[in-house]
Structure 1
Amino acid sequence: MDQLRAKPRQSFWGLWNISFGFFGIQIGFALQNANMSRVFQTLGASMDDLPWLWAAAPLTGLIVQPIVGHFSDRTWTRLGRRRPYFLVGAVLAAAALLAMPLAPLIAAPLVFAAAMLWMLDASLNISMEPFRAFVGDMLGTDQHSAGYAVQTAFIGTGAVVGSIFPFFLEQFGVSNVAAAGELPDTVKFSFWFGAIALFCAVLWTVVTTTEYSPEEVATFEGPALVDETGPARALADKTYYSPMVWIALGIAVAAAVGPLSLEKEVFLLGGLLVVYGLLSGFAISLSRRGKTANMLSSIVGDFSGMPDVMKRLAVVQFFSWSALFIMWINTTPVVTQYVFGSTDTASAAYNEGANWVNVLFTVYNGVAAIAALALLPVLSRKFGQVTTHSICLVLGALGFLGFFVLRDAYALIVCEIGIGIAWASILAMPYAILASNLPQRKLGIYMGLFNIFIVVPQLLVATIMGSIMKIFFPNEPVWTMLFAACAFLVAAIAMQRVAAAIPPRRMQ
């Protein structure tokens, strides 16, 4: 066999072009995260409705990312392997952003807004998942940390632009108040601006990069380093016991809603458990009949046969993203109620508080952009990737604790610094570790499956948190911030178990 070649090193501008599209994608996510609770409440949703309405976002990621990862690993077109997905996702996401402000004109505005959130999140996931794998595709192992750091910087910068834009428009005289049931002009124009910025940024990456051909990939990695159907074939050795347990658990969860007076969102959790049990059982059946060359068997097989380092990082991701989703849902209600003293969505105080949330989100994203390039490399060289991530998560936990105890708008900016450092590490460290320790030919599917441990905690927050709050802390959303702080601390502790699964030569 011919000697394998190393992937060419990318210059700074090469790293820039590879990840610039994420700048636009994150503008879309930032507008969604900072404004959708405001949009829903303006259109008539109560606090109790928010988790259910937000459930659309993680559910689409749960479905879309593994499927996109599976197909992007197997795609080759004139545009390459990952770039067709960048482009399609950007077009659909831009359309959703353009349509979202039109919700008050629709007969069922809340339903329309929820549908557009579903479309927006699905489209952003179509673009985002291949971007994670794209860095691993284009860079050698020695540049993975740098590549994901640059990507994180663009994520932070894009989120700053998306988060601050409503506040920015208000400073230039655009109205931030509207009649009951109407969206302010600051929100409308921000969504329309985001649509244009997202599409243009993704188009930049599509135009300025060229993916390696399958023949070039073979010279980097060899023709058959990974048995792509092995995990699917391994399903034939599994019993139907596990699928039956998942189905029974889902039925039990759904059946408990009435007797325990749980929120209706819990039905969604039960349904997902049943669906997963059915799909895994069907995949086992296909494998036993020798039918392994299909999407379902591949996804279920790869999920059940995840490398150990991925399993351990999954625990960290689970608790990290539980805290983040709590923040995205509840920061607006917490700040407007406890700091600005209003729950009336038509009041000036509420809308001033909602815009301050945009400022706060701008701070943590701006800090993340700076920390990704200036702080994380220093900490990583001194303490290693694993310990660095734990340190950053502890800082984030302290930030959430500040939201629980502080009632001064400007003091919350300090809290966002800690959260921003944690956010930078969450976006960089786990992916750098994965990209260096996973089969390169299957980065798409593994990155897509890794997203499950981002999505499942969000679904749990969306389905269970409402019930917990209603039972123990009715009309007191500030307690969610204490839950978020505890989740980050658990993630920091769990991160220490990851070190044992990383080969010593790769622990940086």
Structure 2
Amino acid sequence: MDKIIHAEVTPHPPRVAKPTLNFWQIFNMSFGFFGIQFGWDLQRANMGPIYEYLKATPDQIPLLFLAAPLTGLIVQPIIGYLSDRTWHPWWGRRRPYFFVGAVLSTFCLFFMPNSGALWMAAGLLWILDTSGNIAMEPFRAFVADKLPERQRTRGFAMQSLMIGLGGSIASALPWILSNLFNVSRKSVNGNIPDSVKFAFYIGGTIFLLAVLYTIFTTKEYPPADIGFKEKVKESNKGFGGGAREIISSIKNMPVKMKQLALVQFFTWPGLFLMWFYYSTAVARTVFGASSETDPIYTKGVEFAGLTLSFYNVVAFIFALIIPLVARKLGRKLTHSVCLFCGAAGLIAVGFV
């Protein structure tokens, strides 16, 4: 009778339960998002006017803004792929990307308002959007990495709070500097006003300090997912292996995600058009500025930033209410109602 050989099966190591974090620990790990969103909203509210200060025509502005969608499309999956396969005893898994993204973003925010030509501003925006995505993308996975399942809603709520606060202050910052601190809003010889310059300097500083605060106050756990070594082994196959895995993940998305992706495809054009033209439209149409050198122009741009600040506050407050509405209407109908309200708001801008 043949001898039966039983292969020894090594069980997977048990997953270590993640400890419950207190309020300040969740605050610390989320505070970096305050700085990241500060940088995002500062450029969203002011890049259109900056391009016009540098003599861009309205039809050129969408092309100059191509950095945002293209870098997001390319950089986000790559950074997600790489950060899932990264581990360093001190830096951890996500924090190296926080640091690199914050340093590069700060560099761009400091130099952006000193751009002397369109090509320089456009190039800096490409780098800024790339580095912003490098810092932001791993932050989304940070909650799942650090928090047990029962605390993840609280973690995402804290991130939403940081996003709302950062966006609100950043959007209103040029107005605050001009009206509360008497920083000049005049555009001398078509140059970018001091109120915008100092807003970007402050924004770059806040971006870096907020991310550094999270890096130095938050530690990461070693990867506990069973497939981590396999992921690392796959990544060692080079760019081709990574590209194949990303493409495979897109192809094998659940049906619901594909349907949602289609909805998102038709949602984002409206948002991007708002970011392209809202500030300049308020300055020219509502305030009646004749050109970017008109003193009223900067005043209109600042007021547009103030309204965008209010928009962030409303969005944050409503984000707290949405779960209650979704319980009554269901998530699908709630999403539909929100999209309808957003579309109505964008259409209404044309009648102001």
Question: C-alpha displacement at 1:291, in angstroms?
Answer: 9.1
Question: C-alpha displacement at 1:141, in angstroms?
Answer: 3.4
What is the rounded CA distance, in whole Å, between the counterparts of 2:191 and 2:271 in structure 1? 28
What is the rounded CA distance, in whole Å, between the counterparts of 1:11 and 1:25 in structure 2? 23
Equivalent position of 1:402 in the other structure: 348
Equivalent position of 2:8 in the other structure: none
The partner residue of 1:167 within 144, 150, 175 is 175
Structure 1 residue matching 2:84: 3-state secondary structure: helix
Q: Match of 2:47, as an amino acid? A: M
Equivalent position of 1:47 in the other structure: 58
Equivalent position of 1:375 in the other structure: 321
Q: Check whether the contact 1:56–1:118 (CA below 8 A) recurs between aligned residues.
A: yes
Question: C-alpha displacement at 1:200, in angstroms?
Answer: 0.6
Q: 1:224 to 1:76 in 2, by over 3 A?
A: closer
Equivalent position of 1:387 in the other structure: 333
Count of residues in Structure 1 that have an aligned counterpart in Structure 2 = 336
The partner residue of 1:138 within 108, 133, 146 is 146
Q: Match of 1:327, as an amino acid? A: M
Q: Does 1:126 align with 2:137?
A: no
Structure 2 residue matching 1:345: 3-state secondary structure: coil
Q: 1:42 to 1:157 in 2, by over 3 A?
A: same
Q: 1:153 to 1:394 in 2, by over 3 A?
A: farther
Structure 2 residue matching 1:74: 3-state secondary structure: coil
Q: Deviations over 1:289-347 (max 9, x none)?
A: x9997222122222222233322221232222222111100112322232112240011
Question: C-alpha displacement at 1:377, in angstroms?
Answer: 3.4
Question: C-alpha displacement at 1:370, in angstroms?
Answer: 2.5
Equivalent position of 1:350 in the other structure: 297
The partner residue of 1:339 within 273, 286, 290 is 286
Structure 2 residue matching 1:20: 3-state secondary structure: helix
Question: C-alpha displacement at 1:384, in angstroms?
Answer: 4.2
Decide which moves more: 175-184 or 380-389. 380-389
Q: 1:295 to 1:128 in 2, by over 3 A?
A: same
Q: 1:5 to 1:187 in 2, by over 3 A?
A: same
Q: Does 1:81 align with 2:77?
A: no
Question: C-alpha displacement at 1:103, in angstroms?
Answer: 1.1
State percent identity of aligned pairs: 44
Q: Match of 1:210, as an amino acid? A: K
Equivalent position of 1:265 in the other structure: none
The partner residue of 1:184 within 168, 187, 193 is 193
What is the rounded CA distance, in whole Å, between the counterparts of 2:299 and 2:239 in structure 1? 56
5+ residue gaps, structure 1: 233-289, 408-508
Question: C-alpha displacement at 1:400, in angstroms?
Answer: 1.5
Equivalent position of 1:36 in the other structure: 47
5+ residue gaps, structure 2: 1-10
Q: Does 1:197 align with 2:209?
A: no
The partner residue of 1:308 within 255, 263, 267 is 255
Q: Match of 1:349, as an amino acid? A: I
What is the rounded CA distance, in whole Å, between the counterparts of 1:17 and 1:385 in structure 2? 30
Q: Deviations over 1:350-376 (max 9, x none)?
A: 22211111011101112223333x323
Question: C-alpha displacement at 1:381, in angstroms?
Answer: 3.9
The partner residue of 1:22 within 33, 47, 59 is 33
What is the rounded CA distance, in whole Å, between the counterparts of 1:43 and 1:122 in structure 2? 22
Structure 1 residue matching 2:350: 3-state secondary structure: helix
Q: Does 1:94 align with 2:106?
A: yes
The partner residue of 2:164 within 132, 146, 156 is 156
Q: 1:396 to 1:143 in 2, by over 3 A?
A: farther
Q: Match of 1:360, as an amino acid? A: T
Question: C-alpha displacement at 1:31, in angstroms?
Answer: 1.0
Question: C-alpha displacement at 1:39, in angstroms?
Answer: 0.5
Q: Deviations over 1:151-198 (max 9, x none)?
A: 122111101111111000111211111223201000000000001000
Aligned residues: CA RMSD: 2.4
Q: 1:390 to 1:137 in 2, by over 3 A?
A: farther
What is the rounded CA distance, in whole Å, between the counterparts of 2:215 and 2:81 in structure 1? 20
Q: Check whether the contact 1:22–1:201 (CA below 8 A) recurs between aligned residues.
A: yes
Q: Check whether the contact 2:284–2:291 (CA below 8 A) recurs between aligned residues.
A: no
Q: Does 1:57 align with 2:68?
A: yes
